Amino acid sequence: MINLETPRKFRAFVNQAHQVAAEMLRPNSRRYDLAEHEYPKELDLLAAVVDGLGASGTGSGAGAGGVRRTDGEDDGKIKNGSNLSSVLSIMEMCWGDVGLLLSMPRQGLGNSAIASVASDEQLRRFDGVWAAMAITEPGCGSDSANIQTTARRDGDHYVIDGEKIFVTAGARCDAVVVWATVDKALGRAAIKSFVVPKDTPGLTVERVEHKLGIRSSDTATIRLTNCRVPAENLLGSPDVDADKGFAGVMQTFDNTRPLVAAMAVGCARASLEVTRDLLAEAGVEIDYDRPVHLQSSAAATFLQLEADWEAAYLLTLQAAWMADNGRPNSLQASMAKAKAGRTANDITLRCVELAGSIGYSEHELLEKWARDSKILDIFEGTQQIQQLIVARRLLGKTSAELK
């Protein structure tokens, strides 16, 4: 039975994450939003601390975790492990700043992919590597199975050719986890992921994007031309299993989607807390003991936003908890991502409205959080794709049957 209170063993760790967010991330939030593409040097120290916690075994899941099903042996005991602690800490960090969290060295989505599907030997070899995730292409956005980047086997190497866009941390990272097809004729079953070091000949960063939000995080376009990668850098099995299809590669999302949901939950909570204080200063009373229809419009709106936030929060915890306990969580991961992403968009925008001119100006961070939150409903699978995945799971339909 899942217990939705923060586990006692994680409380000190979560409090530390909140302290970091309050004393390091939020005070630098506006600075690096305005200084787009400037590297936040303060994060080097923070990343070193996180690495140290992980190496010492006291990090309670600090850093990029992974859904490794071998950890999920059913021994009848309920586990609160690294997935749950990761989402709890990410919520706190994104209460501080989403873009700065995404800029932390060695904590990227590529690191989560490695943690999820790499072999033990690969985990040792890529330890300490800052890895970005490269999936999206100019002609392939939400439909990851339509990837056109190719990986051709040539002796002990794969030769990768293609272009990837919107790669988070693509300019700053040490390596890129590139999704590519080893045989276009075999469709989605032939999609594999490869760890490509940034100094590999043939890999070039074409440009860094200017963006609406998360401006402290770099988002790059990467081109791969005759890029030779050792065969042992392929994550997972090199065999193409038509029966298993895309499932092996897609397992990565079972981990990363709850993490993105946690980002959305943290950002939305920050907006709610600031807005509650501003409403109180304006004399708006929010009474949890009175029916909504007997309260002011502003109070009623705020209560509705809090209820939506609570649902997103609980779904996110559920998806992470299931991963820790070895239970298939693809449905719950998509539900959490869909609910949290859309809820964060709604909450941050409505908070700007409730705060009036203060919310729209740079006097508070509300307008920044509204800009930052939009990406959380897009990357790692758009809102529409999450709803499609949920529908397939609930109706028992395949991707061919329900498009």
Catalytic residue among 121, 163, 380, 401: 380
Q: Are strands 175-181 and 131-134 parallel, antiparallel or unpaired?
A: parallel
38 among known catalytic residues: no
Which sequence positions are flagged as catalytic? Answer: 380
